[in-house]
Structure 1
């Protein structure tokens, strides 16, 4: 726990003392009030240039190989700016917001076409590119909301339809199905066929097999293709110096930082004089 002084000289002495502890071969955490910040965005007012204290603090963090936990938010100074903090050091997989995916089976619904048509007919301000981006964002938001509220999960709807079919077929086998029940049975068969077709399209889209047609069956092969691609898009770890395999997020972060610091170096190491472009021959209009 650190409570740094407001004076630059005292802070430098503290950073030097803490820097001597950076050689210990065990994880360590520094918390407290450093009376300095690493970036202007950490100040409520923003737009503040880094002063000598902040530059000295940033140099200490870099020399010690520390990693900023990037706490977001500000303590309420109206009550106290020294309130207790609770730090949870358990490693959890970061939640990544899923990107928008246009499902091809949506094209079977008239409402999907209606949403797209209404979106592009709506007025949008700004230049043409701004209007285009506005329409894209509006259409994405509308389609996502419609899919969530009106369509839902294809797998869950197919499971419910199959359960309903089983009950209706049992009644039909026992001669207990009424005329209305028979109509419900036909409707359930049609709904089952439509949902199976949509599920086929969904997995074909995820498998990214261009030669496959929508008429192919929803087989285990396409599930494996889609699952394999999803696993291939993940990076479970990296190989660092000495061919050492690293999976710990902190180690991976430090390895990337060290690599690019060594690659880029300082400005003095990569300062280049501007080279003049060679004189290239030109083509006159007469020659054309």
Structure 2
């Protein structure tokens, strides 16, 4: 109990989800002791024969519950997050099923509720007792259903349009007491709308004490690591002016010095010129798409009221052709950012693409470094450590 209370105070927690409470009824006095305050509320699913049990608790000044729903090994609270701009959210606390069949029943029920619910900011957290890949488990042999379970769990996440929040600084969340088996069975899944609201969502594992489980803390942290790297989009090369722009600009730069310095400065200036060209000439494809669709709708409305003139019909034909080209550009950009090579041209599912892009950025980003036994996510310290590492590496190379 003290461990949980310390975590709540240390991280200023607003909501806490506990699994496997093993309590038939917790009671308000124990809940107050958990939090160290009586300004809280909670719902629970009682344990059966000292097994299972769920409790979701929250600070009243952070969250106001409107309604809740208890299912088979899961509990959902619906309400208003009161910090900052008030928004409606859903939080689901999950405790694993036993067999794969029991897990599928839980996943299907949660997925169905999510699909049919008007609130789109969802967070599904808890002990799923399932892995997303074989890399998430070590030291335990796989049964005949293991691969099928991995596929079913991934299908649940994808079909529910949820994103698996990156676990920072650790690979596993559960360890067998003797250390021979470890697995990632705890995780937090959120909707795209959740990420749009809290784009810096990251999952941190707190040090465990006597427990074989790690406590996970979901935080919204946006770390400024400096300028973002410049990337060339494939779709630019489909524009007839792009290659000529690059050649002309490159030849116009008059820079003196050694070769590496000249190359660096030319690339720096070229980056600036390409960004300007992309902004003022190539244009924002999303904005172009919206404007073209509006103009087409106006002509369609005019057509509903009477016969379109020859000029109007020709204008609509040209607008539809331009819209088709813009959609292709939009698809190519999203496909490159998501790095999905198997998607065929014309299969433009932007919600899926954006989900893939967000997942890729979350998992490819450098969120921090492990320095000795300590996790460091301070940008200044991380940059200093990286600089120190490469200076040491190049210095050794010169000595050799």
In terms of fraction of residues, the more strand-rich structure is 2
TM category (shorter chain) comes to: 0.3 to 0.5
In terms of fraction of residues, the more helix-rich structure is 1
TM-score w.r.t. structure 2 length?
Answer: 0.35
Q: Which has the higher contact order (CA 8 A, sep 6+)?
A: 1
